[in-house]
Amino acid sequence: MKIAQKIFFLFQFCCIVFACTTKKDTIITRNYHALTSKYNILFNGNVALEKGVQELNEKYQDDWFKRLPIEPIEFQEDKVMVPEINSAIGGGFDTKRNSKDDQNKASTPFDIAEEKAVKTIQRHGMNIDDLERNIQIDDAYLLLGKGRYYTQRFIPAIEAFNYVITKYPNADLIAETKIWRAKANIRLDNEEFALESLNLLLNIKDTLEVDLPDVIKEQAHTTLAMAYEKLDSTHKVKKHLRLGSKTQKNKQQSARNLFILGQIYQEENKKDSAFAMFYELSERKKAPYKYKIFANIALAQNTTNDTLSDFVIKKLSKLIANRDNKAYLDALYYQVGALKENKDSINQAIAFYNKSLRQDGGAKQKTFTYQRLGEIHFNKDDYLRASAYYDSVLRLATDTLALRIRRVKRKYKNLASLISFENTITKNDSILKLVAFSKDEQTAYFQKYIDSIKEKDEDDAQLKLNQLAFGDAFGGNSLQSTSGKGKWYFYNSQSLSYGKTEFRKIWGSRKLADGWRWSSKAIVNKQETDSLQTTKVNPRYDLEKYLSSIPSKKEVIDTLKIERNNALYELGIIYKEQFKNPSLAIKKLERVATMNTNKTLVLPIYWHLYQAYKRLEKNTETKKYGDFIVENYPETIFANRIKNPKEAEVKTPNDISDLDKTYREIYYAYKENEFKGVIRKINELLPSIQNSELIPKFELLKAYAIGKYGEKESYKKALEFVLINYGNTEEGKKAKEIIVQLSK
């Protein structure tokens, strides 16, 4: 019996040893190596690859405000690896990324997958008579190529894929291998080759003679869409994204394809088609939840009528009511607000925008919300509040070079000077109002103010005492915790002592009597060492301090008036020229017209009022200010414009590039001292470019030409014209500098 067992074990050992060889082509050796490869090494390699892909998907953050990439992976173009030759591995390239020690070789799941693939090839490859006998080796090469692809080593990845295609033309995974080879070529900008091979694959003109499974078709169409996207062939991209989203074998990629298709239609302003794509995705039961949520959000961006808006609002309201959507509430509230705003329900829109801001969302979404609130208040002429919202946009924005952010920045910059002038007017008006009060009125005003802040301080002190006394009752810390005498703070010696100290700090020592708050009721206790501290009047309650701060010198008061009047004038120009708001401009300019004492501002004020009323088509007021200029300033350019309006007729502006070329030609004539010719050419050109952004340049150049051969007074008048009409431009500022120098 023992001899038989020994013989049996010896036979088993011989079989195992015989099966381990890769040089013999037998049923035992083939099946042994195939079985060991598939369920041991390759299994672990595929598990590592799936783990790596999952980590990539978890780390990748989609920017839903831009068109999504078809393949959600970030590759760095400057890190494409150059392979090293190694003839020991089929495919011709080393598996190492660089020349570092092997200890760094398997540092990522993709490195592990690659290592397992190489191990399978080296230990279980049965290349006998130039024919591979192990049916799992093609899987190993495919795994090797995938590992290299995900580590951004596309050239050696293609070598691994080519090895499979060349050596195993009838393998079951040949179609998948060709798709992966095409993806690697796309990453290397070889789109034409990828398109050629994939089109042959889909048309069954390659080595395959059977119909492709749906999962392969889906992968092929998705890869074709990637290739056409790099070639900017949008029509073909849409076609293959649609085909790649039909079967839904890969739920993630299918939903992504459909979402990107909707985004492309949205970029093309084909809102109906975009709405159809997003609606289809939102109703797909198999689609990942994040795609369904953002598809619903995108529906709101592509509504074309009130009926659709109401429908989408109902859908979004249901999503808002679902607690599982807490992470998306900022975007959902924002879109409801946008739909309400489109329906002219501005107050409801503001309410939803504010709800969006209160959610813990992303910074980029908040920039959109702040921007919409800023635009609403800007359109309501509430420029101060609009500026605050624009400031919030700029503080949160990270993509500062984006066109949207640059526009907000430009608007905010324009509002900055407006706010500065508004603050100057508010401050100086309040001071001048106090100056105009009698002494008794000034005293009553500040006493009322002091009483209000004392009352507030008292309430704040009482609140603090209450918090100390009742803190423990609500889970907080309290001084009463050491006494155990009850909840009320008067039963607590520490709370009571604190209250007395706070009272003395604010009010000083006082008797219990009616009117104890008056400063005359304060008592000086000479026996206390800290009497000076306890009876010292709080500076915030010092009536004399406030009264003494009111200016009384005539020159100071005159300066305040001049600053206010200049600010009113500048605001009038800003509202008229920059913000195209003639109504507000008139309000500021008419006010300064009644208070102005600077004679040099009279003509500019009346000229801007004339233009503002003319823009509003109010003929009575237009004539009033026009007649004033003609009667009082008959020799000026402004009077000539009023008497001959056809010369200033507004026509369609020329193309800016042509105008710029014309300006350069006239400027060269100016440099050649052809001053009269420069003036004549500009005069002929001006009536046709009244809406052009370049007109201040022509006007200033004309003034320069007048100054070169004309009289000083004519030069000054020409510069004043530039200053008055284009004071906020660089040309207007330059004209002002020259006028100041000429006046010295």
pLDDT per residue as tens digits for the range 536-579: 567 788 888 888 889 989 899 989 998 899 889 888 988 888 78
Q: Which two tokens stand for residue 132?
A: 């591979």
List C-alpha distances in Å: 553 to 296, 545, 547, 564.
67, 17, 14, 17
Please check whether residue 706 is in contact with residue 718, taking contact to mean a CB–CB distance below 8 angstroms.
yes
CA–CA gap between residue 356 and residue 330 (Å, rounded): 4
CA atoms within 13 A on the CB side of 501: 8
pLDDT at residue 494 greater than cutoff 80: no
pLDDT in tens, 238-278: 999 999 998 888 899 999 999 999 999 999 999 999 999 99
Q: By the 8 A CB rule, do 589 and 608 touch?
A: yes
Q: Whose structure tokens read 């040099």? A: 600
Q: 602-615 vs 619-632: helix axis angle to the nearest 10?
A: 150
Distances (CA, A) of 58 to 55, 148, 161, 361: 5, 20, 27, 18
CA triple 474-477-480, angle to 5 deg:
95
pLDDT at 96 over 60: no
**Does domain 554-648 fall into CATH 1.25.40.10?**
yes
Residue 27, pLDDT above cutoff 80: no
Q: What share of the chain is helix, strand, coil (3-state, %, to 5)?
A: 70, 0, 25
Could you tell me which CATH class the domain 29-266 is placed in? mainly alpha
Segment 523-545, tens digit of pLDDT: 555 444 444 444 456 778 888 88
The model carries a pTM of 0.69
Q: What local confidence, expressed as pLDDT, does residue 653 receive?
A: 44
User: Does position 168 have pLDDT exceeding 50, yes or no?
Assistant: yes
Q: Which of 176, 119, 171, 172 is nearest to 144 (CA)?
A: 119
Tell me the percentage of the chain whose pLDDT exceeds 90.
Answer: 33
Judge residue 698's burial from the number of C-beta atoms within 10 Å of its C-beta, 0-12 exposed, 13-18 middle, 19 or more buried: buried
The neighbouring-strand residues paired with 132 are 127
pLDDT tens for each residue of 386-418: 999 999 999 999 888 888 998 898 888 888 888
Better-scored residue on pLDDT, 579 or 185: 185
Give the Cα-Cα-Cα angle 394, 399, 404 (nearest 5 degrees): 70
Query: What pLDDT sits at residue 17?
Result: 44
The angle subtended at Cα 200 by Cα 198 and Cα 204, nearest 5°, is 115
Instruction: Please choose, from the candidates 342, 292, 341, the residue with its C-alpha nearest in 3D space to the C-alpha of residue 318.
Output: 292
DSSP 61-113: ---TTSPPPSS-----GGGPPPP-B-TTSTTSB-S-SSSS-GGGTTSSHHHHH
Is residue 240 within 8 Å of 224, Cβ to Cβ? yes
| Greatest extent of the chain over all pairs of C-alpha atoms, in Å | 138
- Class of residue 242 by CB neighbours under 10 A (exposed 0-12, middle 13-18, buried 19+): middle
CA–chain centroid gap for 35, Å, is 55
- Least Cα distance to 334 among 308, 292, 364 occurs for 364
More confident residue, 510 or 525: 510
User: Three-state DSSP class for 173?
Assistant: coil
Q: Which residues pair with 127 in a beta bridge?
A: 132
Report residue 92's pLDDT band, with 50, 70 and 90 as the boundaries: very low
Assess contact for 84 and 148: CB atoms under 8 A: no
| pLDDT of res. 89 | 46
Reply yes or no on whether the pLDDT at 38 is more than 80: no
Provide long-range contacts, Cβ within 8 A and 24+ apart, for 278-286: 278/302, 281/255, 282/315, 284/248, 284/255, 284/258, 286/248, 286/251
The phi and psi torsions of 518 (rounded to 5 degrees) equal -65, 145
pLDDT digits (tens, 9 = 90+) for 6-24: 554 554 544 444 445 555 5
Q: Is residue 469 very low, low, confident or very high in pLDDT (cuts 50, 70, 90)?
A: low
For residue 186, is pLDDT > 70? Answer: yes
The most confident of the ranges 22-31, 312-321, 686-695 is 312-321
Asked whether the CA dihedral 657, 733, 701, 646 is positive or negative, the reply is positive
Answer yes or no: are the C-beta atoms of 485 and 491 closer than 8 Å. Answer: yes
Q: What is the rounded CA–CA span in Å between residue 349 and residue 375?
A: 12
pLDDT, tens digit, 9 for 90 and up, residues 730-739: 888 888 888 8
How many C-beta atoms surround the C-beta of residue 463 within 10 A? 10
Other CB atoms within 10 A of residue 410 CB: 11
Residue 128 — φ and ψ, nearest 5°? -115, 125
Give mean pLDDT, residues 155-175: 88
- The neighbouring-strand residues paired with 93 are 85
Task: Note the pLDDT tens digit of each residue in 322-368.
Answer: 999 999 999 999 999 999 999 889 999 999 999 999 998 889 999 99
- Rounded to 10 degrees, the C-alpha dihedral 219/220/225/230 comes to 110
* Domain boundaries defined on the chain: 29-266, 301-418, 440-548, 554-648, 656-743
- Which of the listed ranges 128-137, 172-181, 502-511 does the model predict with the highest average pLDDT? 172-181
Q: Answer whether residue 710 shows pLDDT above 70.
A: yes
Provide the CATH number for the domain formed by 656-743 in this structure: 1.25.40.10
What six digits make up the tokens of 62?
């989609």
Which pair of tokens denotes residue 130?
Answer: 């130039």
Q: Considering the chain, what is the average pLDDT of its residues?
A: 80
Q: By the 8 A CB rule, do 506 and 519 touch? A: no
- The yes-or-no answer to whether 29-266 and 554-648 have a common fold is yes
Q: Does domain 301-418 have CATH number 1.25.40.10?
A: yes
Q: What are phi and psi of 523, to 5 degrees?
A: -115, 130
Query: At 123, is the secondary structure helix, strand, or coil?
Result: helix
Check residue 400 and report its DSSP letter.
T
Which of these, 307, 300, 267, 269, lies nearest to 282 by C-alpha position? 300
For residue 26, the number of C-alpha atoms closer than 13 Å in the C-beta half-sphere is 12
Nearest to 644 by CA among 612, 682, 676, 686: 686
Q: Which residue has the higher pLDDT, 740 or 372?
A: 372
pLDDT at 693: 76
Q: Mean of the pLDDT values across residues 136-155?
A: 88
40/722 Cα distance (integer angstroms)? 85
Contact status, residue 602 vs residue 596, Cβ threshold 8 Å: yes
